Amino acid sequence: FFAEEKLVASLASMSTSERIKAIQKMPETMKKKREIRNKVLKEITKKSRHHCTQLSCCTECLQGAVVRFRRFGNSLSEHFHQLWLWHRVLKIIGAEFGTSVLSYFIFLKWLITLNIFSFLINFGFLAVPQFVAAEPNDLSFKGLELITGAGYFQQTVLYYGFYTNATISKIENGPSYHMQLAYIFTVGIYFVICFLILLFSMAKSFWRNFINPQTYSGNASKLLCTWDFNITSEEAVKLKQKNLSTQIKEDLAEVSREVLSYSVRERVVRIGIHLVSWVASLGTAVAACAGVYFLSINNLKLFVKGRKNDLETQAAMLVLPIVTSLLNTSIPFFYSWLGHLERFQIPGQQIYVTIIRNITLKISIVGILCYYWLNVVAASESQCWETLIGQDVYRLVLVDFIFCLLGSFFGEFLQRIIGTTVCVSRGLPEFDIGRNVLDLIYAQTLTWIGILFSPLLPAIQMISFSIVFYVKMVSLRMNCQPPRKVWRTAQMTTYFILLLFFPSFVGVLSVVGVTVWRLKPSEECGPFRGLPSMYAAVAEWVKTLETYTASKWVVWIYHNLITSELFFFILSALVLIITYLYWQIKEGRKTMTKFLRKQIINVRNDKMFLLKQLRELQRAKHSPSAP
């Protein structure tokens, strides 16, 4: 009873949201929680009545207003959630295939939301003002533009070249909209927001799924903590039970297999096979990059030569994206075949090695394309090199989308036909989560690179991701079976977000950085025409601000914080020191945990020893007294 009084008192002294969270977290039945809640509310009204009797009317009104506001906020968020139809779809996928496949679809949903957000920002701040000051479009619209992105679209808000460098104002001496500053600040602030979103997602993911690699021996947790309550179809449950029993039998048998060691000759042969396959995979990646580079140099000649808008030039423009996507889709199959050839000791290693090879391939292709764009296209004599890059990215994104759909058809549909009619031992294909997630990350990287040159690209990516979602879902339910091996979902989700952040986002930031700081914008088009670099717009704006006394603080911040190296040096030193301190705290806590664990065992042993002594003493006391 006293414990409950203490609980009620402590709950009454918390703020509203903390109190609600604490009540929700209590491991009691609903009846008990309701009783405690009512007691707490009574206590609160008693306290408030005690303290401010004069202001009782005001505080009651305020409290009533707060409650009404909370209810309004809740119902608003409910309506917002109802807009998404994902709930039922995700439930079906989770029910039949489990949490690991579900994680792919949740990641895809997250990317769609990110693209919607990007589109809204770019549309609101860049496209809408541009519509006000738009020049008329004198090109005709033929259907082929949807795929090539050239032609009619060149004179629309889709590309950088269309944006004006003037100050837009509809009314004379009214509020004006400075397009140059708007463009660079919108793109800059968008990337900062993306950086923060990715950072927080990564931190949350690490915090939730704290991975302690040394203690994941896993038998106990594999048994008790990994049964997937999401699965609700009978065949999936039976399959999962069968897989679990097979795995347990394998684990029990593996104890004897670990002792097996290989002879020297066998080990050399194995290392040789590994080396050869690594050389083969890196060689294919290098060959693919060289092919893409030479093809793109030829591609550029097409543009600079002439501007005939006939069918031949249009079709020739599509060769580069088609070849790139073809290489991107077919080489991963080659890598998985290589992975099957090398017999890895631990089956999990095969997945990781294949994923690493795929990542290397994709990074090198994107890298070579960026090199081509920034070094060759930007220095060429074309009229508007930014629009050229925008069109290239548009075509790449679109063709990649088409190849993704085709890959789903060939990869899963055909494999099912083969697995059920020709080669029945293979069975239905499994959904390859790793390869599909890497495709998504590649597509998102292209979108991010293209945002500077084609601000409305996220809209296209948004539509294509939504279509991919439904196509993959249909293909999954028709053609695939649930995964056989236990896929460490939480760990892999963290690694996916990490992949999205490090190679992908940081790479994009460096490309955008080089473009903004070092490249000379084209003379005749775009919001930065005539300036020595895109960043010069900001420098000029700060110079004009110096004349106003009211904004001297902005100028001071710019000169002493943003452009001074000393500030960033001090900032980095501080971050390193704080990281080191946290690391030392973590090490200290680890030692403490080990020590406390030993103490638990010792206390238990002491207790058993004392109990034994007590029993012996009692026996000794009773036996002599028996007559």
CA dist 267 → 256, 273, 281 (Å): 20, 10, 21
Decide if residue 75 touches other proteins (CB under 8 A).
yes
Decide if residue 228 touches other proteins (CB under 8 A).
yes
Helix axes 433-450, 385-408, angle to 10 degrees: 160
* Smallest gap from residue 394 Cβ to other proteins (A): 37
Whether the CB-CB separation of 378 and 392 falls below 8 Å is answered with: no
* Smallest gap from residue 389 Cβ to other proteins (A): 40
Q: How many residues bind other proteins (CB under 8 A)?
A: 73
Residues 545-574 that bind other proteins (CB under 8 A): none
What tokens appear for 440 in the block?
């998504």
What tokens appear for 239 in the block?
């399959």
Residues 199-218 that bind other proteins (CB under 8 A): 208-212, 215-218
User: Computed from CA positions of residues 139, 145, 151, 154, in that sequence, does the dihedral angle turn out positive or negative?
Assistant: positive
Helix (H) or strand (E) holding 448: helix 433-450
Decide if residue 99 touches other proteins (CB under 8 A).
yes
- Residue 224 or 626: the one with the smaller Cβ distance to other proteins is 224
Among the residue ranges 33-41, 438-446, 451-459, 549-557, the one whose residues contact other proteins (CB under 8 A): 33-41
Decide if residue 77 touches other proteins (CB under 8 A).
yes
Decide if residue 83 touches other proteins (CB under 8 A).
no
* Smallest gap from residue 479 Cβ to other proteins (A): 23
- Residue 144 or 239: the one with the smaller Cβ distance to other proteins is 239
Residues 443-502 that bind other proteins (CB under 8 A): 488-491
Whether the CB-CB separation of 121 and 194 falls below 8 Å is answered with: no
Report the distance separating Cα 88 and Cα 451, nearest Å: 33
Report the distance separating Cα 358 and Cα 354, nearest Å: 6
- Residue 401 or 496: the one with the smaller Cβ distance to other proteins is 496
- Residue 131 or 595: the one with the smaller Cβ distance to other proteins is 595
Half-sphere exposure of 476 (CA within 13 A, CB side): 25
**DSSP summary character for residue 429:** P
Among 13, 137, 176, 221, binds other proteins (CB under 8 A): 221
- Residue 74 or 263: the one with the smaller Cβ distance to other proteins is 74
Half-sphere exposure of 412 (CA within 13 A, CB side): 23
Helix (H) or strand (E) holding 458: helix 457-479
Residues 388-427 that bind other proteins (CB under 8 A): none
| Number of C-beta neighbours around residue 164 at 10 A | 18
Q: Smallest Cα–Cα separation from 20: which of 40, 4, 1? A: 40
- Residue 103 or 479: the one with the smaller Cβ distance to other proteins is 103
- Residue 33 or 520: the one with the smaller Cβ distance to other proteins is 33
* Smallest gap from residue 556 Cβ to other proteins (A): 46
Q: Please, which residues have CB within 8 angstroms of residue 126's CB and are 6 or more apart in sequence?
A: 157, 163, 182, 183, 186, 455
- Residue 91 or 274: the one with the smaller Cβ distance to other proteins is 91
Whether the CB-CB separation of 340 and 273 falls below 8 Å is answered with: no
* Smallest gap from residue 65 Cβ to other proteins (A): 15
Decide if residue 94 touches other proteins (CB under 8 A).
yes
Site string for other proteins, 265-304 (x = CB under 8 A): ----------------------------------------
Q: Smallest Cα–Cα separation from 101: which of 567, 485, 403? A: 485
What tokens appear for 228 in the block?
């997937």
- Residue 45 or 186: the one with the smaller Cβ distance to other proteins is 45
Among 3, 78, 310, 586, binds other proteins (CB under 8 A): 78
- Residue 167 or 605: the one with the smaller Cβ distance to other proteins is 605
Among 63, 156, 169, 230, binds other proteins (CB under 8 A): 230
* Smallest gap from residue 96 Cβ to other proteins (A): 11
The single residue listed with the structure tokens 């809204």 is: 120
Phi-psi region of 150 (alpha: psi -120 to 50; beta: other; left: phi over 0): beta
Decide if residue 233 touches other proteins (CB under 8 A).
yes
The single residue listed with the structure tokens 């004379």 is: 172
Q: Please, which residues have CB within 8 angstroms of residue 157's CB and are 6 or more apart in sequence?
A: 126, 127, 130, 131, 134, 163, 455, 456
- Residue 87 or 518: the one with the smaller Cβ distance to other proteins is 87
Report the distance separating Cα 482 and Cα 240, nearest Å: 9
Whether the CB-CB separation of 472 and 405 falls below 8 Å is answered with: no
Among 9, 62, 223, 287, binds other proteins (CB under 8 A): 223
Decide if residue 237 touches other proteins (CB under 8 A).
yes
Site string for other proteins, 306-345 (x = CB under 8 A): ----------------------------------------
* Smallest gap from residue 280 Cβ to other proteins (A): 35
Question: How would you class 220 by CB atoms within 10 Å of its CB: exposed for 0-12, middle for 13-18, buried for 19 or more?
Answer: exposed
* Smallest gap from residue 520 Cβ to other proteins (A): 49
Whether the CB-CB separation of 391 and 148 falls below 8 Å is answered with: yes
Among the residue ranges 242-250, 466-474, 530-538, 614-622, the one whose residues contact other proteins (CB under 8 A): 242-250
CA dist 73 → 78, 81, 584 (Å): 9, 12, 43
Decide if residue 30 touches other proteins (CB under 8 A).
yes
Among 42, 204, 238, 307, binds other proteins (CB under 8 A): 238
Q: Smallest Cα–Cα separation from 436: which of 404, 476, 406? A: 404
Residues 600-619 that bind other proteins (CB under 8 A): 600-601, 603-605
The single residue listed with the structure tokens 């058993």 is: 608
Decide if residue 69 touches other proteins (CB under 8 A).
no
The single residue listed with the structure tokens 């236990």 is: 486
* Smallest gap from residue 495 Cβ to other proteins (A): 12
Instruction: Name the CA radius of gyration of the chain, rounded.
Output: 32
* Smallest gap from residue 392 Cβ to other proteins (A): 39
Site string for other proteins, 501-530 (x = CB under 8 A): ------------------------------
Report the distance separating Cα 492 and Cα 488, nearest Å: 6
Among 7, 14, 44, 90, binds other proteins (CB under 8 A): 90
Among the residue ranges 5-13, 24-32, 457-465, 556-564, the one whose residues contact other proteins (CB under 8 A): 24-32
